[in-house]
Amino acid sequence: MLKPPFYYIGFNSILGGLFSIWLTLVYSCLATIRMITELIRNGPKAYFSQRDRNGPNRPKILDTVGSHCFISLKRSKIRLHYVEAGNKEKQIMLFVHGFPECWFSWRFQMEEFKHDYHTIAVNMRGYGESDKPIGVENYSTNLIVDDVIEFIETIQTKSHPKIILVAHDWGGAIAYVIAHNRPDLIDRFIVMNAPHPYAWIQRVSNSWQQFFSSWYVFFFNLPFLAEFSIQSNDFQIFDRLFGKYSQSEGDIDVYKHYFSQPYGISGPLNYYRAMLRGYGSNSKGYDNKIQPKTLILWGRDDVALVSDLAHDSSNMCVNARVEYLDQCSHWIQIHRPMEVNSIMKKFLRNKKNDD
């Protein structure tokens, strides 16, 4: 059976790079047609409008989850914003978000686990109130991995030197590399709808379904047009992605608030651009399996990532348990928070028995 093009030319090869550029142009043309259609349908006023969500209009819900803090990293000189809740004397549970998200995506988990852990949700570089360096080269996997590693090293305590690392989507891709390279920092690893980087490359090279589901990766590679599409119709993309799972309009306003900041869209998009352009590709340690005990949670109705990626990713771990949630989207932690929290609790209870 004929395989996707990356199977024959390689994802990270020169030919793979040229083919990625071609895909970028194709998907950008299709996106442009859709954007013009929306412009005609909605009218210029609605299409270009943006409601002010800054200053006195800043979403009040931002201050209901925990305390807002900042850490300045010594190696990269990047300042990261994070929100914490719970007892600082207890073990740290660190949450790392995906795209297009922020620390706020973990609000349900922070509320649930703050009584038993010191919960911390970080905004990665380029997101929210964290620093947003200009330039695609500043968003390589290597740099972001090092950010999170230094962040962990800074917040870890002598009484609890190892943390529980919880990640979703792009945060999961970063967390897999950390789990490979620095298992000494991680007690338990929980990842949600995020494939191991190697597993994703293998799937996009062997599965037509994953190949076509990854269209957005190539579209995001085009400067300006991708940014414009996200901010159109008052950042309507967030209503489409999260509207069904939000408890109030204020929930959606959080994302619109953060992404409307200067460079608030380009920073997150640069994760994809840096990956496709080969900045800081990180394959170190992939030959060695992930050592910390791992829980992989997967919503089966993910339209961007095929469910087989959960099993593929588990093969990269020494001891991994996979839990699927039927009729659950990619945004698993906000779509089905009670079930996610319950599965996490069971996994962590078993940890205590192991200890």
CB contact at 8 A, 108 and 334 = yes
The structural domains of the chain, ordered by start, are 5-354 (3.40.50.1820)
Q: In what order do the strands lie in the sheet with 293-299?
A: 67-72, 79-86, 118-122, 92-96, 163-168, 186-192, 293-299, 320-325
User: Tokens standing for 95?
Assistant: 């949450």
Length of the chain counted residue by residue: 355
Lowest mean pLDDT among 217-221, 240-244, 277-281, 334-338: 277-281
Model confidence band, residue 107 (pLDDT cutoffs 50, 70, 90): very high
Q: Which residues form the catalytic set? A: 169, 272, 330
pLDDT digits (tens, 9 = 90+) for 178-206: 999 999 999 999 999 999 999 999 999 99
pLDDT digits (tens, 9 = 90+) for 307-333: 999 999 999 999 999 999 999 999 999
Residue 104 DSSP code: G
H helix intervals, 60-140: 107-113
User: Tokens standing for 331?
Assistant: 């945004």
Report the pLDDT averaged over residues 17-26: 95
Whole-structure pTM value: 0.95
The dihedral sign for the CA sequence 298, 293, 145, 149: positive
What average pLDDT is seen over the chain? 94
CA distance 228 to 215: 17
pLDDT digits (tens, 9 = 90+) for 46-85: 999 999 999 999 999 999 999 999 999 999 999 999 999 9
